[in-house]
Structure 1
């Protein structure tokens, strides 16, 4: 089958804090995050679509307007009575979010029976810094 690569850029707004970091980012703060995703695989032979771009967008936007915290952060218990908190298995750095998002997108593709996998992802937490995962 033909190997195809697609690209999608998605933005979301969310707050986080780095529980184990000593510095400004230890405090709860927000970002306008940008996620760039490259996916490779074999397009559907009938539709010629590898992955619906909205599938990628909807997966990433699960983080939109959320508070993202380390699952071990005591702030989770303090905030949860007032609003939902998205927890991750470690401090929610751009590096960790790249790994988490790549896994979520790959799982969604698998659930849909698609022959498609994330090959590269960048998570920007500001206009001048990003973490990149090459898979």
Structure 2
């Protein structure tokens, strides 16, 4: 049977600040992120399986990515937990804001690495994460490929 790649697109809104950065992105700002998730596997060949002919049901992939990424990151503010933004983060939490503290600089590059770990660990047997594309703006994106990370 042939290996097939399928891709599903997700969107979410997240704010962040890049501590120590030498440009405008040191300020808190937000993006309308687009995340393209591509998995690879063989289509199910069991004709009695309700998912016959599918690598993975798009709905099942959606559940995984929503749980691990979208539900957590959408309408949140992302800060590196090792920066002086902690005081601001705690204050915003007290006001009811959804704050995420991560152990990395919240750049698109580092976010896509984090997302790859979270998604890979939740895929069903026989399905592998092939690639991720995290689009931050219309003209800027970061990509992760499994083949680059062996």
- TM interval, short-chain normalised: 0.7 to 0.9
TM-score by length of 2: 0.77
Unaligned runs of 5+ in 1: none
**Equivalent in the alignment of 1:128:** 139
CA distance in 2, matches of 1:130, 1:23: 18
Greater displacement, 1-10 / 11-20 = 1-10
RMSD: 1.9
Larger proportion of strand: 1
**Equivalent in the alignment of 1:64:** 74
What is the number of equivalent residue pairs in this alignment? 132
TM-score by length of 1: 0.85
Greater displacement, 50-59 / 24-33 = 50-59
CA distance in 1, matches of 2:74, 2:120: 19
**Does structure 1 residue 73 correspond to structure 2 residue 83?**
yes
Q: How does 1:103-118 map to 2 (within 5 A)?
A: 103-109=117-123, 113-118=124-129
Match of 2:63 among 55, 65, 68: 55
CA distance in 2, matches of 1:3, 1:68: 36
Query: Does the Cα contact within 8 Å between 2:76 and 2:100 map onto a contact in 1?
Result: yes
Following superposition, the deviation at residue 53 of structure 1 comes to: 3.2
Larger radius of gyration: 2
Following superposition, the deviation at residue 14 of structure 1 comes to: 0.7
Following superposition, the deviation at residue 56 of structure 1 comes to: 4.3
CA distance in 1, matches of 2:125, 2:55: 7
CA distance in 1, matches of 2:115, 2:63: 12
**Equivalent in the alignment of 2:98:** 84
Greater displacement, 57-66 / 78-87 = 78-87
1:74-105 CA-to-partner distances (Å, cap 9, x unmatched) read 22342233333212221111111111111111
